[in-house]
Structures are given as C-alpha cells and as structure tokens.
C-alpha cells in the first residue's frame, strides 16, 4: 500500500510543474469539487489532485489494467494512435479517479456502436466552429472505418494543445470531466498530452461548468464528442446516400438530429439544415415543389424578402454592390449616355449608390437608363415597376436623367438581345450623337443557369450581342456543382458552416434587436433554402450550382470575355465598408488576380469579377480611355 502510495505520489511529483497551472485555473472549482478532505492523500492534494488514501490500492490496480488495455489495443491497430497516446496527452485535475478509471475501462471493453474517426483540426478561435473539412475529414474518415475497439472519449487527433489562456475552454472540459480525471494514468508515461477535440461552443462550456461545479455531476465530454460524432454522422449519411443505401442513411439522419440538439450556435443550425435536407432527399426522392427547391412563383416574393434580410444582416451583398458599382462607374467614365442591365433586380438596392456617384462625378451626371429583370410575381403585383418608380423618384431628387424598364422573365435564358437594347424609338434623334454604353450586372444569378445545359452559353451570347463595356459578375466562391454528391455535400458543409459562423460573429448589437435580430434569423433561413437546394434537389431543380472563381474564369474566357481588373478604389471602399460592420475583424477582402473576394477569416465566400467582350472595338476603346484617365 505504501509503495503504491509512493509511486502515485512520485508520479504526481514528476509532473508537479505541469500540474500547477491546472491548480491555479481550477482553484475555485477544485474547492467546490473537493468537498471534505478527510481521507484524501495529502501529498497529492497539495498538487490539487484528490485521491482518497483508502482507494489508492484499488486505483493503482485499475490503472495497471488500463495501461495494458490501452497499450494492447492501440498497438494492435494503429501505431500512430499509440504514438499520439504516448506523446500527446495532457493531464487534468482528477477528483474521482476510481470512477474515471472504471469508465475508461468499460469503454475500452465495449466499443461504441459507431466507429469514431479523429476529429478534424480545430479552428483558431475556440468559439467558432470552422473546420477544414475536405482534406481532413476524408483522410480521417478512412481511419475511422478501421474498426477500432479503443473507444476512449479522448480520441487523439491533430488538434492544438490547450493553452493556459484558453482556460475557459480547458477548464470547462475539465469540469465536464469532473468525475473522470485521467491524471494518474499519465503518470505512467512521461509527458503525455491528450490531444483534445475541437472545443465546443462557449455556451455549452459554461453550461457544463455551471452544472458540474454546482452538482458535482458528470456532464460528460459528450458535448465535444457529440460535435465530432455530428460531423462524422453527416458525412456518413451523405456517403450512404451516395451509395443509395437509403436505409442506413435514414438511421443515421435520426442520430444527427439528436446530436445536433446538443450543440449550440452556428453548428446546431447548420447541422439542422443539412439534416433536414438529407432527410428530404432520403425519404422523398422526388421532393415536391416548394422549400426553394425550384423557384416557383409562390416563393419568388418570399425569396425577395429573405434576400433583403440577408442584405441587411451581413456584408456580402453590400460588398457585391459596392464593388460592382465601382467597376461600372469607372467603365462609364466619359460617356454621356449609359445603360445598365440588371439580371436580378429585386429591390434595386444596388442602384441608389450608383445614381448618387454618377450625380457627383466630374463633368456632371450622364443620362442613365436602367433595365431590370426579375422573375414573375405571384399576385400580379408589378414589383419591378414599383422599384423602378422609387428609383426614378430618387433620381429626380438628385437630378439625374433616369429612364427605367422592367422585364419579367422566368429564366435569363428567355432573354433576347433586342429586348435589352431597347426600341430605337426611345430618345429620338439623340441616339446618333451619343453612343449609349451598356453595362451588364449579375449578382448571384448566373449559377442558376447551369441547371439547364446550354442556358449559360445562350445568356453569355446574349450579353455579347449587347456589346457591353463592362460585365460585372458576383458569385459564391464555392464548388457546389461537383458530379459526386459526397463532394458537393462536403463542400457545402464547409461553406455554409463558415457563412453561419460569420453571421454569428458579425451579429448586430443586442439593442438593435427588433429588426436586427429578425435579420439574422431570416438570413439563416435564406441560407437554409440554399442548403436544401444543394443537398436535396437534383437535375433542373437544383439551381444553386455554385462554382469557384477559377471555374467562372474559364467559362467566361470560353465565351469570349476578357477579364477587367477591378481597381484599387473598389478594394479601399470595400475595406472601409467592412470596417464598419461589427465583427468586421473576421471579414477579409482579398484581391485575386484582378477580382475581389470577401471571406470570413481564411475562407473566401463571395467573389466579384468584371469582364468585357474580347476584341470588341467599342469596349476596348472605352477601357483604354478608362485606363488612361
């Protein structure tokens, strides 16, 4: 007994130095946990470890068993796993060693139903849930399919070590493990660090800490474990769907909703939307119309409203408008008659700023014509005309000569060039003096055309026929149009997680909640509809076919367009705009070979590019004029 006591104490001493910061971080919680000190070994208690002397023998014996179990199982399967265990474990403040050891033993002997892959690498910010899905998950997913009996909750993975500063995160984890501290086991190996999974959102942590500290209960690490399982379950379900194994997929989907409920914040919402989309895909292979699966007439008005809220709540659309306007403004320099064709008119929020900029430009405002294109409206209300009327009012107050025309088109492919150029009778004889230059503007519209083969080529041909001086294209920066369902799913999961993170991060101040709070919820619904479309729909109904900037570049070049670099003015204005958004620290404007992208931390989410028809004398001379002025 004494020898074991000494061993344990010696082991404790060896890591006295490392244990100290845990003591400091844990002091108040440790006191709550420690309860009475009777029978607690004093030496270890001085280090902050609570071990009852009476339990020592028992604990020591169990630890030996544990070591054998861990050693054998790990070595049998994966050397890397063993190496992680050997070198990469942190120890925590134990309060009830026997129970914890029991727990570990039972888990080792009875593997959990799902194989758990190591979790993906964590975000830099412990509160956000970004993760690098495409490379990490696929690779770790393979490891997961090797059936590991070792079901320890502290699955080693490539995760950052817990810093002392992240003490809330770490201590929350510790508290959540209050009944099960692995400390003494680590004494059997030198310098072990348990690589922890990505930290759960702070709300879960504080909840865990509160409940654990209050009730000395074991609020298990399940919140973290659930996060990992959640991601894994989503991927497993997607793979099952891809393999047409709908029964398995259906079973997993149910698990997903349970797991999602245990998460908080952005992850829960994202998982919820993906789970719902998967469920629809599984149980109804031909989903009925609605839920944004196809842009029906009924949903057009709803779409506009959600789009408006998305505009308010985050800067992506504002960024798109401002950068596109800047490019158009520069392209229009020197011309007295200008014409803008907008492929997605909606509420026309892009154009007041352009009107104002044209009113203030040197040389005075030009004569401005706007052609707005929109989908058919359900109740025969002429939304396009109303928008045009409002813009006309604004133009009148700032004294810009303004003409407007609205076109209703179910799809952009229905347009013909002569519609856009307008009747020659317009404007009378003024036509001959001043050439009218055309700009075409497409914000998040072109990707829908990829749903029908040939539609995009037709539209690009129409654009070329109009001979625009500039074409501004803004698209989501993601590849949601891959051939394999699993690839699309993975990409979409990553993309929308980042989007939702940015919504959480840049949330409006709590006092502005009446409209601001709704904005965020509506924006999430807006994104949710896109998620639904990407995951649950196929064929012509799957209209959210986002592609990356390089892919769009290739398409535009093939169609005969040359890239026009977006100038530094636009970059500066975009940076200034983002600085004004709360949470603006997370947004990044980057320049990508003449195009501008806006992203959240390291991930670009939306890209603006500008084009002109290659070899067109009018547009070439115009751009030369712009370049020289």
Partner 1 sequence: MMMLLLPHREEEEEGGAAGRRRFPINDNADLLAEVLGRLDGRSLAVAGCVCRLWSAVGRREAVWEAVCHRHVAVGRAGAAGGTRSVVAALGGYRRLYRLCIGPALDRLAGVRRQGPAVSSAARHVSLSLALSLFSIDCYERLGGVGGRQQQPPASLLFLCKPVDVS
DSSP for 213-275 reads HHH-----THHHHHHHHHHHHHHHHHHHHHTT-HHHHHHHHHHHHHHHHHS-HHHHHHHHHHH
Q: Which is nearer to partner 1, 93 or 441 (CB)?
A: 441
Q: Which is nearer to partner 1, 244 or 514 (CB)?
A: 514
Beta bridge partners of 606: 476, 598
Residue 605 dihedral angles phi and psi, to the nearest 5°: -120, -25
Cα first-last separation, the chain:
90
Q: Which is nearer to partner 1, 210 or 515 (CB)?
A: 515
* 5: CB partners within 8 A, 6+ apart: 41, 53, 56
- Shortest distance, position 307 Cβ to partner 1, whole Å: 13
Residue 337 dihedral angles phi and psi, to the nearest 5°: -130, 120
For residues 163-201, one letter each, b for 16 or more C-beta atoms within 10 angstroms of the residue's C-beta and e for the rest, the string is: eeeebbbbbbbbbbbbbbbbbbbbbeeeebbbbbbbbbb
Q: Which is nearer to partner 1, 49 or 310 (CB)?
A: 310
* Residues in the chain, total: 629
- Shortest distance, position 626 Cβ to partner 1, whole Å: 15
* 49: CB partners within 8 A, 6+ apart: 12, 19, 93, 94, 181, 183, 184
- Shortest distance, position 398 Cβ to partner 1, whole Å: 5
Residue with tokens 């200034």: 576
- Shortest distance, position 597 Cβ to partner 1, whole Å: 16
Of 557, 495, 559, nearest in space to 530 by CA = 495
Using CB under 8 A as the criterion, which residues of the chain lie in contact with partner 1 when the complex forms? 311-313, 315, 322, 325, 348-349, 352-353, 355-357, 359-362, 364, 385-386, 389-391, 393-394, 397-399, 508-509, 511-512, 515-516, 519, 572-573, 575-582, 584-585
- Shortest distance, position 583 Cβ to partner 1, whole Å: 10
Beta bridge partners of 113: none
Q: Which is nearer to partner 1, 258 or 512 (CB)?
A: 512
Cα(229)–Cα(119) distance, rounded to whole angstroms?
8
- Shortest distance, position 362 Cβ to partner 1, whole Å: 6
- Shortest distance, position 338 Cβ to partner 1, whole Å: 17
Four-CA torsion 302, 306, 311, 314, nearest 10 degrees: -170
- Shortest distance, position 569 Cβ to partner 1, whole Å: 8
Q: Which is nearer to partner 1, 479 or 508 (CB)?
A: 508
Q: Which is nearer to partner 1, 110 or 512 (CB)?
A: 512
Q: Which is nearer to partner 1, 32 or 398 (CB)?
A: 398
């Amino acid at each position: 007994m004494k020898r074991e006591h000494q061993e344990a104490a010696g082991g404790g001493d060896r890591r006295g130095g490392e244990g100290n910061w845990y003591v400091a971080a844990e002091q108040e919680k440790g006191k709550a946990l420690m309860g009475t000190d009777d029978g607690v070994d004093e030496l270890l208690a001085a280090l902050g470890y609570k071990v009852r002397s009476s339990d020592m023998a028992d604990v020591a014996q169990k630890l030996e068993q544990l070591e054998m179990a861990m050693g054998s199982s790990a070595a049998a399967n994966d050397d890397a796993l063993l190496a992680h265990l050997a070198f990469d474990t942190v120890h925590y403040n134990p309060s009830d060693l026997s129970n914890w050891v029991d727990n570990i033993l039972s888990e080792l002997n009875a593997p959990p139903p799902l194989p758990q892959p190591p979790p993906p690498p964590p975000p830099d910010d412990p509160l956000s849930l970004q993760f690098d899905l495409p490379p990490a998950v696929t690779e770790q997913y393979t490891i997961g399919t090797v059936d590991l009996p070792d079901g320890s909750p502290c699955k080693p993975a490539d995760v950052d070590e817990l810093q002392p500063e992240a003490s809330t995160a770490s201590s929350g984890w510790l508290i959540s493990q209050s009944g099960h501290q692995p400390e003494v086991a680590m004494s059997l190996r030198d310098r072990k660090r348990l690589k922890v999974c990505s930290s759960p959102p702070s709300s879960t942590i504080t909840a865990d800490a509160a409940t654990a500290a209050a009730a000395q209960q074991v609020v298990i690490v399940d919140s973290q474990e659930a996060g990992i399982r959640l991601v894994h379950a989503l991927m497993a379900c997607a793979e099952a769907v891809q393999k047409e194994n709908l029964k398995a997929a259906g079973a997993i989907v149910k698990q997903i909703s349970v797991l999602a409920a245990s998460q908080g914040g952005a992850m829960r919402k994202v998982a919820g939307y993906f789970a719902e989309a998967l469920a629809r895909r599984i149980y109804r292979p031909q989903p009925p119309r609605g839920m944004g699966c196809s842009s029906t007439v009924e949903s057009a008005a709803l779409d506009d409203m959600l789009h408006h809220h998305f505009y308010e709540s985050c800067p992506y659309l504002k960024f798109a408008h401002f950068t596109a306007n800047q490019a158009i403004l520069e392209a229009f320099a020197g011309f007295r008659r200008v014409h803008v064709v907008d492929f997605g008119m909606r509420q026309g929020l892009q154009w007041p700023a352009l009107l104002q900029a044209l009113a203030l430009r040197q040389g005075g405002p030009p004569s401005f014509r706007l052609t707005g294109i929109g989908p058919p409206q359900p109740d025969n209300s002429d939304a396009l005309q109303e928008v045009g009327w409002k813009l006309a009012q604004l133009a009148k107050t700032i004294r810009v000569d303004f003409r407007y025309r609205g076109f209703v088109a179910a799809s952009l492919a229905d347009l013909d060039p002569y519609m856009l150029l307008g009747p020659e009778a317009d404007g009378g004889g003024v036509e001959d003096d001043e050439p009218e230059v055309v700009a075409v503007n497409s914000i998040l519209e072109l990707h829908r055309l990829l749903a029908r083969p040939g539609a995009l080529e037709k539209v690009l041909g129409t654009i070329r026929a109009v001979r625009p001086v500039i074409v501004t294209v803004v698209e989501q920066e993601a590849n949601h149009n891959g051939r394999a369902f699993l690839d699309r799913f993975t990409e979409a999961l990553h993309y929308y997680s980042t989007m939702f993170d940015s919504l959480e991060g840049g949330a409006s101040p709590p006092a502005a909640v009446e409209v601001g709070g709704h904005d965020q919820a509506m924006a999430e619904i807006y994104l949710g509809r896109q998620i639904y479309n990407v995951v649950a729909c196929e064929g012509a109904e799957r209209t959210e076919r986002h592609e990356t900037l390089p892919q769009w570049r290739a398409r535009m070049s093939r169609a005969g367009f040359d890239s026009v670099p977006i100038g530094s003015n636009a970059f500066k204005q975009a940076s200034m705009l983002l600085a004004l958004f709360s949470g603006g620290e997370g947004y990044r404007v980057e320049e990508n070979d003449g195009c501008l992208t806006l992203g959240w931390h390291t991930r670009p989410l939306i890209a603006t590019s500008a084009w002109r028809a290659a070899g067109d004398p009018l547009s070439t001379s115009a751009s030369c004029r712009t370049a020289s002025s």
